[in-house]
């Protein structure tokens, strides 16, 4: 059955189904799911909850995801991360229909713009979802929702914690309590963020990415400046199209591609390869370890990986921030401390950010700063935008990252780069 859908601006346009079974179950199921996502994303634009009663059956699963959304909308109201516009695409991976039960696996690709982002575009790619729908009174309704998208994890963990600490408290009650606690955390986070605007704990931080730490560079090497614009340009091209780059991709089971992607951005900022970074010069630079350090900090082409310092969160930090004669010249700040010990003005485009939960022993995620708005857009963390792989994200508000790592329990450390020596 052929099903065609166009989604432009904020309206879904359902084009005529050319199949003779134009009103068949699969078509109706896709209509329900498109309505679900259109209303879901429109809530980030209006900051008002929509009515889903015609397409959602209230179950513990659907209540969980609607409660997560209530929390996220409150966050957007408090921190000003409202959407100005959005477009989305649904990629259906599998639809299985047995009698009156349907199971659907799909991916969401979202393009959007924050209202305060001054025209800068953002996107998220390949958000995975699974749905179960049931045909009730001849109408398909969603009865189960699940997603591995990491921004939902903090809320789910709180629900599990409440259930486990209260003798398996009923799901609906645990979800409601989690929602109340997490919304309270939003307002605590806002209070902390407002105080952080006035605190400059790391007064030595400078934002031109060209500080001189007087390292003893080897004479046989050549010094290369760090150019954040090249790193940003690389991130814009390949945060989404990682498969279009020439680099090896770290699979999810091996830790994900986040630090591999960040290393590529840093490499590009030091002059590795050339735009659009999938040409013969780039391939030659990767093979010959140009702007890399062989067997220490180097990448792999398709089919083979790079070193641990290139691909692993902790190994990357340990390597780039250590004193060295050759290799990327990074200086680290705020290790093992909450994010609010870094004033919003501490960040700059081209910086690397790593995050973890306060309860974790090690950092688990690396991101590249691709946008830092001027003070006219505010003075808090909403001016800072990051890009990443695993999930593939471009210009995501740093506040959304802080939220997903536990609000005030989020630990963030910062790496700033300056001129460095390389052998080639």
Same domain, 32 and 167: yes
Place of tokens 């290790």: 335
Are 38 and 151 contained in the same domain?
yes
Would 193 be classed as within a structural domain?
A: no
Residues 262 and 405 in one domain: yes
Q: How far apart are CA 283 and CA 250, in angstroms?
A: 18
249-283: burial string, b at 16+ Cβ within 10 Å, e else: bbeeeeebbbbbbbbbbbbbbbbbbeeebbeeebe
Give the lowest-confidence range in 51-55, 129-133, 158-162, 217-221: 217-221
Nearest of 12, 168, 1 to residue 89 by alpha carbon: 12
Residue 97: per-residue pLDDT? 95
367 and 240, same structural domain? yes
Say what the pLDDT of residue 178 is: 96
At a CB cut-off of 8 Å and minimum separation 6, what does 58 contact?
A: none
Average pLDDT, the chain: 87
Residue 206 maps to a domain:
no
Please count the structural domains in the chain: 2
Summarize pLDDT for 94-116 with one digit per residue, the tens: 999 999 999 999 999 999 999 99
Same domain assignment for residues 404 and 302: yes
End-to-end CA distance of the chain: 56
Q: Are residues 146 and 229 in the same domain?
A: no
Proportion of the chain above pLDDT 90, given as a percent: 73
- Domain-embedded: residue 107: yes
pLDDT, greater one: 350 or 252: 350
- Regarding whether 266 and 332 lie in a shared domain, the answer is yes
Task: Determine, yes or no, domain membership for 157.
Answer: yes
Q: At what angle do helices 171-196 and 153-165 cross, to 10 degrees?
A: 130
For residue 363, the model assigns a pLDDT of 97
Q: Are residues 167 and 230 in the same domain?
A: no
Per-residue pLDDT at 194: 78
- H/E stretch holding 110 reads strand 101-114
What number of other Cβ atoms are within 10 A of residue 103's Cβ? 14
User: 228-274, pLDDT tens digit by residue?
Assistant: 999 999 999 998 877 778 887 776 555 678 999 999 999 999 999 99
More confident residue, 9 or 42: 42
Q: Does pLDDT of 20 surpass 70? A: no
Q: Is residue 194 part of a domain?
A: no
- Residue range 73-89: average pLDDT? 96
d(CA 145, CA 64): 9
The pLDDT of residue 14: 35
One domain for residues 232 and 366: yes
Question: Do 179 and 227 fall within a single domain?
Answer: no
- pLDDT class for 277, splitting at 50, 70, 90? confident
Residue 201 lies in a domain: no
Domain that holds residue 347: 222-422
The pTM for the full model equals 0.87
Which pLDDT score, from 0 to 100, does residue 127 have? 95
pLDDT over 50 (residue 77) = yes
pLDDT of residue 3: 37
Has residue 174 been placed in a domain?
A: yes
pLDDT of residue 217: 33
Q: Say what percent of the chain tops pLDDT 70.
A: 86
Are residues 29 and 146 part of one domain? yes
Q: Is residue 322 part of a domain?
A: yes
Q: Which residues contact 11 (CB under 8 A, 6 or more apart)?
A: none
- Residue 103: CATH number of its domain: 3.10.450
With a cut of 50, say whether residue 12 has pLDDT above it: no
| pLDDT value of residue 380 | 79
Q: Are residues 304 and 155 in the same domain?
A: no
């Amino acid at each position: 059955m052929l099903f065609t859908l166009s989604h432009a601006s904020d309206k879904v346009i359902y084009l005529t189904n050319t199949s003779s079974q134009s009103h068949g179950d699969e078509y109706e199921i896709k209509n329900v799911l498109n309505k679900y996502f259109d209303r879901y994303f429109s809530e980030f634009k209006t900051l008002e909850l929509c009515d889903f009663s015609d397409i959602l059956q209230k179950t513990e699963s659907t209540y969980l995801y609607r409660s997560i959304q209530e929390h996220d909308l409150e966050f957007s109201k408090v921190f000003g991360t409202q959407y100005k516009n959005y477009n989305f695409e649904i990629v259906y991976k599998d639809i299985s229909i047995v009698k009156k039960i349907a199971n659907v696996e799909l991916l969401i690709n979202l393009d959007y713009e924050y209202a305060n982002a001054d025209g800068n575009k953002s996107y998220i790619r390949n958000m995975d979802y699974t749905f179960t729908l049931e045909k009730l009174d001849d109408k398909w309704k969603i009865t189960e929702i699940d997603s591995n998208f990491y921004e939902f994890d903090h809320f789910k963990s709180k629900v599990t914690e409440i259930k486990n600490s209260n003798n398996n408290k009923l799901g609906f009650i645990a979800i409601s309590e989690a929602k109340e606690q997490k919304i309270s955390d939003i307002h605590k986070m806002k209070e902390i963020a407002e105080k952080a605007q006035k605190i400059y704990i790391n007064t030595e931080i400078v934002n031109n990415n060209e500080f001189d730490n007087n390292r003893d560079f080897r004479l046989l090497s050549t010094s290369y400046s760090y150019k954040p614009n090249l790193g940003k340009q690389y991130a814009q091209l390949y945060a989404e199209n990682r498969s279009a780059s020439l680099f090896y991709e770290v699979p999810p089971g091996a830790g994900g591609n986040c630090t591999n992607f960040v290393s590529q951005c840093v490499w590009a900022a030091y002059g590795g390869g050339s735009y659009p970074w999938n040409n013969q010069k780039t391939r030659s630079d990767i093979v010959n370890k140009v702007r890399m350090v062989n067997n220490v900090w180097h990448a792999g082409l398709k089919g083979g990986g790079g070193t641990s310092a290139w691909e692993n969160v902790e190994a990357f930090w340990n390597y780039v921030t250590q004193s060295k004669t050759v290799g990327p010249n990074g200086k680290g700040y705020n290790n093992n401390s909450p994010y609010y010990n870094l004033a919003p003005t501490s960040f700059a485009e081209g910086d690397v950010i790593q995050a973890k939960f306060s309860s974790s022993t090690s950092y688990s995620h690396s991101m590249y700063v691709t946008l830092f708005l001027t003070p006219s857009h505010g003075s808090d963390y909403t001016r800072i935008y990051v890009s990443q792989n695993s999930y593939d994200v471009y210009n995501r508000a740093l506040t959304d990252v802080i939220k997903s790592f536990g609000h005030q329990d989020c630990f963030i450390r910062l790496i700033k780069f300056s001129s460095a020596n390389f052998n080639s």
